[in-house]
């Protein structure tokens, strides 16, 4: 496992999405999982500034305290590290259709007062089902307008965010 940590890439809550060159961590011991840890238990088993890249694909919505998780992500990330997050958009049926999901997320989630001193938002994208391609353009131009006025009419699928760690 030491070589995996030296890679400085973490696939947090990996499930079956095992990535080569990453430390693959999940709460269950699936095939290919390098480390088992309950992400609702703090602190995470890593020293400060351990990772230059963290991937969180469809995991944040499962955790009981996303704010505390993001504080831990900040702690274990090195200065300038990249954090890639994919989570259901709040308007998505998937955000609320899974009993394990604790909340939905929007484009303000990672730029609010609690996060802006810890992370810089490099990019955000709201994704849509293929049939709603016309809404994609509108949401890209003005995501706040989309979320306030159209999100429950033309529901999204995911929110994809890239963050840069500020330290």
Q: pLDDT tens for residues 85-108?
A: 999 999 998 888 888 888 889 999
What number is the average pLDDT over the span 54-74?
96
Predicted local distance difference test score (pLDDT) of residue 160: 97
Mean pLDDT rounded to a whole number for the chain: 92
Q: Which segment, 72-76, 134-138, 140-144, 149-153, is predicted with the most confidence on average?
A: 72-76
pTM of the predicted structure, to 2 decimals: 0.90
The total of structural domains in the chain comes to: 1
How far apart CA 91 and CA 103 sit, in angstroms, is 11
Tell the burial category of 87 from Cβ atoms under 10 Å away from its Cβ (0-12, 13-18, 19+).
buried
Predicted local distance difference test score (pLDDT) of residue 5: 55
Percentage of the residues of the chain whose pLDDT score is greater than 70: 94
Q: Is the pLDDT of residue 61 over 90?
A: yes
The residues, any chain, with a CB within 8 Å of residue 154's CB and separated by 6 or more, are 128, 132, 135, 146
How far apart CA 105 and CA 76 sit, in angstroms, is 23
Domain enclosing residue 62, as ranges: 2-165
Predicted local distance difference test score (pLDDT) of residue 102: 86
CATH at 89:
3.40.50.150
Predicted local distance difference test score (pLDDT) of residue 43: 97
Predicted local distance difference test score (pLDDT) of residue 118: 97
End-to-end CA distance of the chain: 27
């Amino acid at each position: 496992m030491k070589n995996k940590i030296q890679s400085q890439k973490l696939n947090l809550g990996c499930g079956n999405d095992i990535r080569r060159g990453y430390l693959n961590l999940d709460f269950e011991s699936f095939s290919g999982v390098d480390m088992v840890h309950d992400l609702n238990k703090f602190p995470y088993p890593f020293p400060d500034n351990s990772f230059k890249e963290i991937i969180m694909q469809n995991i944040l919505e499962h955790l009981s305290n996303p704010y505390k998780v993001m504080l831990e992500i900040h702690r274990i990330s090195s200065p300038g590290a990249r954090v890639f997050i994919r989570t259901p958009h709040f308007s998505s049926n998937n955000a609320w259709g899974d009993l394990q999901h604790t909340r939905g997320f929007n484009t303000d989630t990672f730029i609010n007062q609690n996060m802006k001193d810890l992370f810089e938002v490099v990019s955000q994208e709201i994704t849509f089902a293929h049939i709603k391609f016309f809404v994609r353009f509108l949401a890209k131009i003005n995501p706040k307008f989309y979320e306030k006025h159209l999100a429950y009419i033309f529901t999204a699928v995911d929110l994809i965010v890239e963050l840069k760690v500020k330290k």
